[in-house]
Amino acid sequence: MELAKKVGLEYGKIANSELANFEIGITMEFVPPGFFNFRLSDFALAYQLERAAQGEHLFFAKTAQPRTVVVDFSSPNVAKPMHVGHIRSTILGDSLTRLLRLLGHRVVTDNHIGDWGTQFGMLLVGWKTMLDRAALDRDAIGELERIYRAINAQCDATKPTYNAATHEAARAELVKLQQGDPENLTLWREMIRLSQIQFDAIYGRLGVKFDHALGESFYNPRLPAIVAELMVKGIARESEAAKCVFSVGTLPPKEDPFLIQRDGEWQANPQLIQKRDGGYNYATTDLATIAHRLETWQPQEIVYVTDGRQQLHFQQLFATFRRWHPELTDQVKLAHVWFGSILGDDGKPLKTRTGENVKLADLLNEAEERAFKVVSEKNAALPEAERREIARVIGLGAVKYADLLPNRQSDYVFSWDKILALNGNTAPYLQYAYARIQSIFRKGEIPKAAVGGATVEIRLTAPEEIALARHLLNFGLVLEAAVEDYRPNFICTYLFELASHFSRFFENCPVLKAEAADRTSRLALCDLTARVLAQGLDVLGIETVPSM
Ligand code: ARG
């Protein structure tokens, strides 16, 4: 009706005008008072499937407007083990990266490693006074964590373990490091190097790569000038000897990240950019980071993947940045893609039986171990190396999928039985659906080439065939919706439904036993389903195996 007004036509007539020029196979009918029904003919459906079988597309198209997107994800902290909290950032960030790239965007991934801050004062004291070399060689991060904990306990004035002398020593070591003391710099670099080795081992297992890993320390040289500029421009001001950014009062209080409600009253909630002692904050580094990224890669979009507790930080950061660089406001989209926690059976954040944070490496080991048991029960005859490889793919896939399936903003309860189940909305179920299709081809001794090429004719007659074909056609829409909202879970839901459509099709439509023309058409449907499954899983960072 809007359109009719614009072009000055009675809307009933649009149906017959040149506006109704549609691709072959789509019919349109006008239904008064103002509806149009579009009908996709089975012929058009088959035509698209044939083109896909011939390798022209896989139901999605690359974007006509490629963007440069920086994805900031994973970002663990040096000398601390990566825990399950970092797993969601790593897995989500990697999946978003794969998705953006698949759709033709230029992506720059950057791991914003926490390699600077007050913890290094304590780590330096620990290193110099209580380091166990043998333990460091065995498990560097474990040992660094041990000395950090021990010294940290002595620096916390609220604890009985408090030791004023240690506290003072940590402060002094930190100042020395900040002033460029050669010994402390060397030790600091060594801690980063050792941590990086362990991070890289995890990334290798997860199949995650970064274009850059510019840690927080990289931005140190820029920080004084940024604070000075924000002061001169009046964006920041001094408060209790610290430098902070305050509300400018242009937003309703509820939407203003620089205000907070306490006892029914709106109070200032400033963003700290320089501490009283002259040290800089997480936010200062992040301001420098945005500036660097804009200068270096000219992105249209910067995406940060962290847990939900950092929402305020990013709201303030984005607001301060916009005040600092109003001229760039329309040029770059800043997005905080946040996620909830992983919970244990007790509904509390996932912990080990002894109450420790679950380490990522342990979680992945357990996933592979459990998958190995299942695989060995089902395929006792396979050589062990093969069973191990299948278990690796299934175990890692299960963990990744469990993380990507829920709406990212909700917490989810982690359960081994649920994520490894072969029936249910799990990675193993989808991997199994893929392997089952491969086995059809093996069983029929059919080369894949037989269902591609210019000659393949798709015949859609059974309702299950049509339903499967329609669902295949939606793949591109789902990829676009997922990238638009930064929600890979849309893809999980889509793939699960695809596997279910396939099951119904396979139960109701004979494939290998069908007569020749139907057989080729149905084999082509099988192959297309398998290819979409594999492509969809690949976007989620999940591998497939030809048999399970
Ligand atoms: N290192 C931080 C943490 O572990 C995450 C950093 C996220 N990225 C950023 N640019 N602030 O919580």
| Residue listed under structure tokens 């929402």 | 311
CB of 75 closer than 6 angstroms to any ligand 1 atom? yes
Instruction: For residue 140, give both structure tokens.
Output: 């560097």
Judge if 440 and 523 occupy the same domain.
yes
Judge if 410 and 489 occupy the same domain.
yes
Distance 74 CA to ligand 1 centre (A): 8
pLDDT at 24: 59
Judge if 236 and 314 occupy the same domain.
yes
- Counting Cβ atoms within 10 Å, is residue 327 exposed (0-12), middle (13-18) or buried (19+)? exposed
Distance 109 CA to ligand 1 centre (A): 14
Distance 111 CA to ligand 1 centre (A): 9
CB of 316 closer than 6 angstroms to any ligand 1 atom? no
Judge if 153 and 224 occupy the same domain.
no
Judge if 152 and 35 occupy the same domain.
no
Q: What are 436-493's pLDDT values in tens digits?
A: 999 999 999 998 888 877 788 999 999 999 999 999 999 999 999 999 999 999 999 9
- Strands (E) in 146-241, as ranges, are 236-239
Instruction: For residue 47, give both structure tokens.
Output: 């035509």
Judge if 227 and 156 occupy the same domain.
no
| Residue listed under structure tokens 């036509």 | 9
Q: Is 332 within 8 Å of 302 (Cβ atoms)? A: yes
Judge if 369 and 422 occupy the same domain.
yes
Ligand 1, atom 5, residue with closest C-alpha: 75
Judge if 521 and 397 occupy the same domain.
yes
Reduced to 3 states (helix: H, G, I; strand: E, B; else coil), residue 310 is helix
**Is residue 201 in some structural domain?**
no
**Residue 485: how many other CB atoms lie within 10 Å:** 12
Ligand 1, atom 7, residue with closest C-alpha: 75
Ligand 1, atom 2, residue with closest C-alpha: 75
Mean pLDDT per block of 10 residues along the chain (548 residues) reads 71 56 65 78 89 94 97 93 85 98 98 94 97 95 93 93 96 93 97 94 96 97 97 97 96 95 95 93 97 98 96 98 94 97 89 83 94 94 96 97 95 93 95 97 90 86 96 97 97 98 97 92 97 98 95
Distance CA 415, CA 363 (A): 12
**Is residue 252 in some structural domain?**
yes
CB of 112 closer than 6 angstroms to any ligand 1 atom? yes
**Residue 211: how many other CB atoms lie within 10 Å:** 13
Distance CA 14, CA 12 (A): 6
**Is residue 198 in some structural domain?**
no
| Amino acid at position 263, single letter | D
pTM for the model stands at: 0.92
Distance 136 CA to ligand 1 centre (A): 25
Judge if 262 and 375 occupy the same domain.
no
**Which residue segment(s) compose the domain that 470 sits in?**
360-539
- Residue of 72, 74, 75, 305 best suited for mutating to test ligand 1, as the one with most atoms within 8 Å of CB: 75
CB of 77 closer than 6 angstroms to any ligand 1 atom? yes
- Counting Cβ atoms within 10 Å, is residue 442 exposed (0-12), middle (13-18) or buried (19+)? exposed
**Is residue 186 in some structural domain?**
no
- For residue 473, what is the domain's CATH number? 1.10.730.10
Alpha-helical regions (H) of 325-383: 360-378
**Is residue 209 in some structural domain?**
no
Distance CA 157, CA 165 (A): 12
Number of domains into which the chain is organized: 4
pLDDT at 450: 82
- For residue 304, what is the domain's CATH number? 3.40.50.620
pLDDT at 21: 46
pLDDT at 20: 47
Judge if 142 and 221 occupy the same domain.
no
Helical pair 360-378 and 84-102, crossing angle rounded to 10 deg: 70
Judge if 103 and 140 occupy the same domain.
no
**Is residue 355 in some structural domain?**
no
Q: Is 313 within 8 Å of 252 (Cβ atoms)? A: no
- Residue of 112, 286, 302, 321 best suited for mutating to test ligand 1, as the one with most atoms within 8 Å of CB: 112
Q: What are 503-515's pLDDT values in tens digits?
A: 999 999 999 999 9
- Strands (E) in 213-294, as ranges, are 236-239, 242-245, 259-262, 265-268, 271-274
Instruction: For residue 145, give both structure tokens.
Output: 């964590």
**Is residue 76 in some structural domain?**
yes
Judge if 299 and 265 occupy the same domain.
yes
Distance CA 250, CA 270 (A): 15
Give, rounded to a whole angstrom, the gap between the first and last alpha carbons of the chain: 54
**Is residue 298 in some structural domain?**
yes
Ligand 1, atom 11, residue with closest C-alpha: 286
Distance 216 CA to ligand 1 centre (A): 9
- Residue of 113, 306, 312, 357 best suited for mutating to test ligand 1, as the one with most atoms within 8 Å of CB: 306
